Amino acid sequence: EAGVTQSPTHLIKTRGQQATLRCSPISGHTSVYWYQQALGLGLQFLLWYDEGEERNRGNFPPRFSGRQFPNYSSELNVNALELEDSALYLCASSWGEQGEVYNEQFFGPGTRLTVL
């Protein structure tokens, strides 16, 4: 069974540009989560999508946004990039049933975003 996949592996942008990161969940998983791991910091929750809707959002500015597609894959967009956005961005997926969420999240390898 294929795990969570993310693309691209590395992304280099300049300040003020926009970055788009992509994630494909494990087959059968309907929830997708995004986390940021900046250098020297822990994993910080960004966004949670389930069944195409944003379910929860971390303490990040509106420049960070995303969406989930009908096939449950997801995109994270970061607008007006700042130097401090340089980090490893991790996507995770999990499965859940209506009214219940299973919290075992399985992570992809991440996208390393560098802002120059």
Partner 1 sequence: DQQVKQNSPSLSVQEGRISILNCDYTNSMFDYFLWYKKYPAEGPTFLISISSIKDKNEDGRFTVFLNKSAKHLSLHIVPSQPGDSAVYFCAASAVFWGKLQFGAGTQVVVTP
- The count of chain residues that interact with partner 1, using the rule CB under 8 A, is 27
Q: Which residues have CB under 8 Å from 6's CB, separation 6+?
A: 21, 22, 23, 24, 89, 90, 91, 108, 109, 110, 111
Is there binding between residue 31 and partner 1 (CB under 8 A)?
A: yes
Name the one range near partner 1 by CB under 8 A: 12-20, 68-76, 85-93. 85-93
58 sits near partner 1 (criterion: CB under 8 A): yes
Q: Does 27 bind partner 1 (CB under 8 A)?
A: no
Determine if 106 is a binding residue for partner 1 (CB under 8 A): yes
DSSP-derived 3-state class of residue 7: strand
Instruction: Output DSSP code: residue 25.
Output: P
Across the chain, which distance is largest between two alpha carbons, in Å? 43
Q: Which residues bind partner 1 (CB under 8 A)?
A: 4, 31, 33, 35, 42-45, 48, 50, 55-56, 58, 88, 90, 92, 100-101, 103-110, 112
